[in-house]
Chain A
């Protein structure tokens, strides 16, 4: 789950003295929206996004030949004038969790990844992070999700895991989440089986509450502003 495993290594970069039409071209050619800005020795100095470029252009509707003309008039604008200096960057040993929390805080669509000398070694986008998160959730394996309400005390998970294992069912993933009732947690085991009925019966018999699927998730979690 380290960023070094998630990032793209061949980040397409742009020179600090390039102008915005060059940046625009590189972005549309590669279908990127973020370009790290580096100097001759590959040290990270900034990042420029498609939004930065749009914000200095007179209109966001510049396309086709006419668009190129407009761009030319603004081609005097250099990357160094519009880039974000010293952008938030990740290290290869930061984790997926670090990146997700940072993402929520910083509202960026991509993070450059730098080594200890601040040299650029890659870039990680929201897309990369989501792909990894989908992998963590085990969503690409066929299975069934359950929601079990448990007391927030030691040993509950063991009982659940044991009960499910006794049914010869294996786990794709397990999420544990806050629950609206104090002292309780919602446990979401993702089980790699179609044969879910015996597991449900067993857990109910053990006294666990299985939450109605329509009551899952956010509607009962403490609201976030």
Chain B
């Protein structure tokens, strides 16, 4: 059995998005509950949140943006940049705690105290741009983790796999001219889903051409198509890149019961994808795999999805 970490902290519930918002604290409770009820907690190393040093946030976001975000939360505003982005007085601190917890998890992995980790954090990150919040995201958690791995731990090649049903526009844009970070995203076709980016021909810029890969999936597709593209495309493409660490943007909103998308992945379908990614990490990254929660809004399905996800990490 692997040494698997779980980053979870009740302070992540403090980011209050108001009534009827899909990105709710209940999501995280459901995830934690699912892992607990599956009897997995005793096998996991629990990691607590910690406030991130701003210098790491600044590797990805502009100082001006960070300040704007802090001021917006402190001023009693209820939204930031877009009406989708509901904030409260605690949102800025919660976002810092999410990043700090993830960086601690990275450290535990890089010092061989853990093999892999699931970071059940809020708010999510993959839509957040250099200087713009978008799609419930404020700090790009995964992007910051990638830079931290490179700067603090000397990692040369980071692979990011994003299976959230929405395209991670932020992560793509932040690394599209960077050949040292591979961004691979599977998502609902941008003509039919937010945010409207992530087309096949978006393959990177300048020196980074070839280390961005988008695989749009059509409405109504599910297990069969995902399975096929994972085997046919994701596995060979990531193998060729040979990442030293794999980061996963784990979004569970492609589930058939999640009404944020028209994609029909089953619970088993999700497991099969994650098993394949874990196998890739074993082959190329010495098992080093850091999975970070993005979307996933079906409170009924999140418990089983999270439990399976963690189980795969434990048995990777």
Interface set of A (CB-CB < 8 Å, partner B): 139, 141-145, 168-170, 192-198, 200-201, 212-214
Interface status of B153 (Cβ within 8 A of chain A)? no
- Against A, the Cβ 8 Å flags (1 = close, 0 = not) of B241-266 are 00000000000000000011010000
A143's partner among B20, B196, B218, B219 (CB-CB below 8 A) is B196
A168's partner among B83, B127, B197 (CB-CB below 8 A) is B83
B259's partner among A139, A168, A200 (CB-CB below 8 A) is A200
- Asked if A195 and B21 make an inter-chain contact with CB atoms under 8 angstroms apart, the answer reads yes
- Asked if B193 and A142 make an inter-chain contact with CB atoms under 8 angstroms apart, the answer reads no
**Whole-angstrom CA separation of A78 from B112 in the bound complex:** 75
Interface set of B (CB-CB < 8 Å, partner A): 20-22, 82-84, 127, 134-136, 166, 169, 191-197, 218-220, 259-260, 262, 297
Residues of B within 8 A of A193 (CB): 82-84, 194
- Asked if A213 and B192 make an inter-chain contact with CB atoms under 8 angstroms apart, the answer reads yes
- Asked if B195 and A143 make an inter-chain contact with CB atoms under 8 angstroms apart, the answer reads yes
B257–chain A nearest beta-carbon distance, Å:
12
A212–chain B nearest beta-carbon distance, Å:
7
Interface SS of chain A: helix, strand, loop or mixed?
A: loop
- Asked if A194 and B135 make an inter-chain contact with CB atoms under 8 angstroms apart, the answer reads yes
Given A194-B260, A214-B218, A214-B219, A144 contacting B194 (CB threshold 8 A): yes
**Whole-angstrom CA separation of A214 from B84 in the bound complex:** 26
A145's partner among B84, B136, B169, B192 (CB-CB below 8 A) is B192
- Asked if A142 and B259 make an inter-chain contact with CB atoms under 8 angstroms apart, the answer reads no
- Asked if B20 and A213 make an inter-chain contact with CB atoms under 8 angstroms apart, the answer reads no
A142–chain B nearest beta-carbon distance, Å:
3
Given A139-B196, A143-B196, A195 contacting B219 (CB threshold 8 A): no
**Whole-angstrom CA separation of A9 from B157 in the bound complex:** 46
A169 nearest CB neighbor, chain B only: B83
Interface SS of chain B: helix, strand, loop or mixed?
A: loop
A197's partner among B22, B134, B169, B218 (CB-CB below 8 A) is B22
- Asked if A214 and B135 make an inter-chain contact with CB atoms under 8 angstroms apart, the answer reads no
- Asked if A142 and B260 make an inter-chain contact with CB atoms under 8 angstroms apart, the answer reads no
Residues of A within 8 A of B21 (CB): 195
- Asked if B192 and A194 make an inter-chain contact with CB atoms under 8 angstroms apart, the answer reads no
- Asked if B218 and A144 make an inter-chain contact with CB atoms under 8 angstroms apart, the answer reads no
- Asked if B83 and A142 make an inter-chain contact with CB atoms under 8 angstroms apart, the answer reads no
**Whole-angstrom CA separation of A170 from B83 in the bound complex:** 9
A189–chain B nearest beta-carbon distance, Å:
13
- Asked if A195 and B197 make an inter-chain contact with CB atoms under 8 angstroms apart, the answer reads no
- Asked if B136 and A142 make an inter-chain contact with CB atoms under 8 angstroms apart, the answer reads no
- Asked if B220 and A212 make an inter-chain contact with CB atoms under 8 angstroms apart, the answer reads yes
- Asked if B191 and A194 make an inter-chain contact with CB atoms under 8 angstroms apart, the answer reads no
**Whole-angstrom CA separation of A139 from B259 in the bound complex:** 23
Residues of A within 8 A of B20 (CB): 198
- Asked if B218 and A195 make an inter-chain contact with CB atoms under 8 angstroms apart, the answer reads no
- Asked if A142 and B197 make an inter-chain contact with CB atoms under 8 angstroms apart, the answer reads yes
- Asked if A144 and B193 make an inter-chain contact with CB atoms under 8 angstroms apart, the answer reads yes
Residues of B within 8 A of A170 (CB): 83
A141–chain B nearest beta-carbon distance, Å:
8
**Whole-angstrom CA separation of A194 from B190 in the bound complex:** 12
Output the residue of A141, A145, A168, A212 with the most chain B CB within 10 A: A145
Given A142-B194, A145-B191, A197 contacting B259 (CB threshold 8 A): yes
Q: A-B pairs with the 10 shortest C-beta distances?
A: A142-B195, A213-B219, A194-B194, A197-B259, A194-B135, A213-B192, A144-B194, A193-B84, A168-B83, A194-B84
- Asked if A195 and B192 make an inter-chain contact with CB atoms under 8 angstroms apart, the answer reads no
A172 nearest CB neighbor, chain B only: B196
- Asked if B84 and A195 make an inter-chain contact with CB atoms under 8 angstroms apart, the answer reads yes
Residues of A within 8 A of B191 (CB): 145
A170–chain B nearest beta-carbon distance, Å:
7
B23–chain A nearest beta-carbon distance, Å:
8
B170–chain A nearest beta-carbon distance, Å:
10
Residues of B within 8 A of A194 (CB): 84, 127, 135-136, 166, 194-195, 260
Q: List 18 A-B contacts (CB under 8 A).
A: A142-B134, A142-B169, A142-B197, A143-B194, A143-B196, A144-B193, A192-B83, A193-B82, A193-B83, A194-B84, A194-B127, A197-B260, A200-B259, A212-B219, A212-B262, A213-B220, A214-B219, A214-B220
Residues of A within 8 A of B193 (CB): 144
Residues of A within 8 A of B220 (CB): 212-214
B219 nearest CB neighbor, chain A only: A213
**Whole-angstrom CA separation of A145 from B194 in the bound complex:** 8
B192 nearest CB neighbor, chain A only: A213
**Whole-angstrom CA separation of A217 from B260 in the bound complex:** 22
**Whole-angstrom CA separation of A34 from B274 in the bound complex:** 52
- Asked if B169 and A195 make an inter-chain contact with CB atoms under 8 angstroms apart, the answer reads no
